[in-house]
Amino acid sequence: MSGDLKEGRIVVVGASLAGLRAAEALREKGFTGSLTVVGDEPHPPYDRPPLSKHVLLGNASAYSTGLPMRRDPEAEWRLGVRATGLDPVGKRVLLGDGSSLPFDRLLIATGTRARPWPVPEEAALDGVFTLRTSDDAARLAERLSAGPRRVLVIGAGFTGSEIASVCRERGLEVTVTERGPAPLVGALGGTLSKLAAAMQRAHGVDLRCGVTVTSLRGNGRFTGADLSDGTRVDADVCVVAMGAVRNVEWLADSGLAADPRGIACDAGCRAFDMYGIVTDDVFVAGDVSRFPHPLYEYQLLSLEHWRNAVDQAEVAAHNMISPGPLRRPHLSVPTFWSSQFGYNIKSVGVPTFSDEVVIAQGSLEARRLVMVYGYRGRVTAAVTVNMAKSLDYYERLIESAAPFPPPPGAADRRAAAEVPLPSDVPDPSRLSHGPTVALTGYLPDRRLVLAKPTG
């Protein structure tokens, strides 16, 4: 049986980080059959995080972020071709060029795309951008280099905040609008979002929270935007940073449990069908998946995190060529980073899965701290600002469900660490930026089903 699984035909749909790492891992683990990787972009797999930092700063070309291979996966690459459908009975992936690919096992790693501005005519104005692909980054970097008088960034999530940071570093005036009360509040909760707001303002960002953009103006060329508070922002460039949309539309007729929240799968990366029955030949990895995590009450997590794409791709690859008892669960603790305004923000765990926080090390005043998040008396997450070396320690606390507040020895500021504050995690539907971690089952403090269409 296990011999058979190492042969046959595997198709990977999605040629970004998860697709590449899965293809490498399949070969590493001994898959000798035919391997085809399909990608809708014409570029070989490339790394996206530098696009909103190094590339926009003008320090690297948008097309220089190609991912190094760990080993050559000896795959057939079908790049620049979109998957348009899946026939689960005939076991074929349908492609945009009219052809189709037969498979024995399939990995879906189609990721996300930038959420576009909802009014197409306004989105089409010259000077209105989103940022997800290297083509997006090339166009936006060129426009920033031309020295616009002002840049408007809609949405103060991680991407929007990083873009604003780049603009200030390049000496450009920038206005950021956010429907929520502060930047990053959807990912980090109330206290750190206030620090994020202070960092932005200290660096000269014109930050407008609690407002929405009601229309983008311009006659062919973007000239400014109207805000819900009745004010107007004049700008030459607008970056729509309103979160991501999962690439699931091509699966509409596939019978899989695919919806705007992603494709539901089990802890072994096997996709569920629409009846909640697990499939045995269709696997999911990366941003497009949502999977149960035991540390978070088996809620289905959707993570738009670099490390999750790598870890989940490796587990998926292993399980695709391993018989049942040898399969592994995807259990890694979620983790991400962002660099903005000269600060390094790193997170481990799920900060939104929390009811209280303490500052265990450092302080808000020092702009250097560890914030620990707890839920019902156990540690569920930690976020560091310029204290990355502490993160491993808190990861171990999270993995072992250590008591919250963390015990003495985990804190260098006893007083602050003994006074838990509300974590103040908002309802994600009230934000301009999509959350990068979405709890798509129950919110811990509300016990309501969150089934908000994000499209």
Partner 1 sequence: MRVVVDLTRCQGYAQCVFLAPDVFQLHGEEALLYDPAVPEDQYERVRQAAAACPVQAILVGEEVSAGVR
* 53, 194, 290, 318: which one binds partner 1 (CB under 8 A): 53
Contact between 250 and partner 1 per CB under 8 A: no
- Measured N-to-C along each axis, helices 306-320 and 17-28 cross at an angle, to the nearest 10 degrees, of 40
Element (H, E) at 94: strand 92-95
Q: Which is nearer to partner 1, 77 or 103 (CB)?
A: 77
Do 405 and 417 form a contact (C-beta atoms < 8 A)?
yes
Considering beta carbons, is residue 36 or 454 the nearer one to partner 1? 36
Alpha helices in 14-62 (DSSP H): 17-28, 54-57
Q: What are the tokens at 148?
A: 């616009």
**Total residues at the site for partner 1 (CB under 8 A)?**
44
CA–CA gap between residue 108 and residue 120 (Å, rounded): 29
- For the CB of residue 243, give the shortest distance to partner 1 in the complex, in Å: 21
Contact 206, 214 (CB under 8 A): no
Using CB under 8 A, which of 11, 25, 77, 428 touches partner 1? 77
- Rounded to 10 degrees, what is the CA torsion of 34, 40, 43, 49? -110
Pick the binder of partner 1 from 226, 329, 339, 413 (CB under 8 A). 339
Residue 394 interacting with partner 1 (CB under 8 A): no
Structure token pair of residue 426 = 């908002």
Nearer to partner 1, 59 or 214 (CB): 59
Burial of 52: CB neighbours in 10 Å, binned 0-12, 13-18, 19+? buried
**Would you count residue 386 as binding partner 1 (CB under 8 A)?**
yes
Among 16, 25, 54, 291, binds partner 1 (CB under 8 A): 54
Site string for partner 1, 57-76 (x = CB under 8 A): x-xxx--xxxxxxx-----x
Q: How many CB atoms lie within 10 A of CB 170?
A: 17
50 binds partner 1 (CB under 8 A): yes
Would you say 77 or 404 has its CB closer to partner 1?
77
Binding window for partner 1 (CB under 8 A); candidates: 51-59, 123-131, 153-161, 396-404: 51-59
Q: Which amino acid is at 390?
A: S
**20 lies in the binding site for partner 1 (CB under 8 A):** yes
Dihedrals φ, ψ of 436, to 5°? -85, -20
Binding segment for partner 1 (CB under 8 A), chosen from 87-95, 171-179, 246-254, 330-338, is 330-338
Nearer to partner 1, 279 or 308 (CB): 308
- Kindly report the number of other CB atoms within 10 A of residue 449's CB atom: 10
- Chain residues binding partner 1 by CB under 8 A are 20, 43-47, 49-50, 53-54, 57, 59-61, 64-70, 76-79, 305-307, 310, 335-337, 339, 341-344, 346, 368, 386, 388-389, 391-392
